């Protein structure tokens, strides 16, 4: 029997995706999808950015909708990724205040 979270609910270009699982953090294979999960206390928004291996520009950027956020964790499962040829990163929005984050020497 397939669980409900094994079916995509959204589509962008040729990729299908859905809300993911919080744990484990990072990227891991779950069936025929890759689950992406990342924690950020300060972020107000996050996007998953996918690149073809070695490319300078992404081939897709998928924003995490609010339904893909659980507390301070952004999570999404993306179906149909070739894990051998795809690299990923995240783009965050939120306050930028390096002075506040810098500790005194």
| Domain ranges (residues) in the chain | 4-93
Mean pLDDT of the chain: 90
What is the C-alpha separation between 73 and 38, in angstroms, rounded? 6
Mean pLDDT computed over 36-60:
96
Mean pLDDT computed over 78-86:
95
Residue with tokens 């930028």: 96
Q: In which band, very low, low, confident or very high, does the pLDDT at 77 lie, cut at 50, 70 and 90?
A: very high
What is the C-alpha separation between 53 and 3, in angstroms, rounded? 31
CATH fold, domain 4-93, is: Immunoglobulin-like (2.60.40)
Q: What's this model's pTM, rounded to 2 decimal places?
A: 0.86
What is the C-alpha separation between 58 and 71, in angstroms, rounded? 27
Q: Residue 6 corresponds to which tokens in the numbers above?
A: 């094994």
Task: Read off the DSSP letter of residue 64.
Answer: P
């Amino acid at each position: 029997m397939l669980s409900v979270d094994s079916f995509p609910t959204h589509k962008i270009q040729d990729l299908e995706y859905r809300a993911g699982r919080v744990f484990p953090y990072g990227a891991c294979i779950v069936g025929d999808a890759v689950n992406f999960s990342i924690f950020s206390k300060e972020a107000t928004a996050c996007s998953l950015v996918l690149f073809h291996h070695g490319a300078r520009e992404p081939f897709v950027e998928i924003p995490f909708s609010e339904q893909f956020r659980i507390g301070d964790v952004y999570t999404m499962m993306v179906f149909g990724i070739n894990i051998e040829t795809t690299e990923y990163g995240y783009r965050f929005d939120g306050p930028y205040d390096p002075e506040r984050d810098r500790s005194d020497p």
